[in-house]
Amino acid sequence: MTKKSSGKSTGGSRGKHVRVKTARGRTTSQQRWLSRQLNDPFVRRAKEEGYRSRAAYKLLEINEKHPILMPGALVVDLGAAPGSWTQVAVQELKGRGRIIGLDFQEMEPVSGAELLLGDFEEEDVLRKLEAMLGGKKANLVMSDMAASATGHTQTDHIRIMRLCELALEFALQWLAPDGAFLAKVLQGGTEHAMLATMKQHFRTVKHIKPAASRVDSAEMYVLALGFKNPTP
């Protein structure tokens, strides 16, 4: 059971720095990643407050500043695993509304949400998701999808923007009037064509970097509000 939380502050869980012991077979990058995880205040908070990952605080902060998770809403969570955004959605909808989460990785059930296992890029999986919607339009389509990092900046940017484009295509078809779209991108902004499409179909489009998004990460989020051109 998660506790009501804000994503703005790291709270009082700073604690002492945890030193990671060297282990045979562990690379330097693995050592660095483990140290960062053990000393990340958002990771500690997630464990304390019952969220499955630190990503919960990104959505909590975005929703606090720009309320997009409203009771009664129909929410589609793309790239939902391990489920922290789905948990936040269930928490904010307060038992009123519907949340559908999709990911190709298996994830533990989230009470109050419906989950679909499959790759969003596959046509048959997309059809299953649309069948679950049953013709009803979503109030929010959110995507924290990210392809595995290659370490090559340009390649990683192209891959994550491709996922964002697919999520946007889905949103343009399945959002209700005044609906919202939230998706992960990499710093440097969205591609010009995609940004132009968003501005054409939404009243407001902005980039956000939540406090829980690491400073050294190129990760950002694009938020589009006020969907104005729903598909008949």
Active site residues: 184
Question: What radius of gyration, in Å, describes the C-alpha atoms of the chain?
Answer: 18
Which residues in 192-204 are b (16+ Cβ under 10 Å) and which e?
Answer: eebbebbeebbee
Q: Rounded to 10 degrees, what is the CA torsion of 12, 57, 151, 19?
A: 20
C-alpha pair distances (Å), 73 with each of 42, 132, 230 = 27, 15, 17
HSE on the CB side for 107, CA within 13 Å? 27
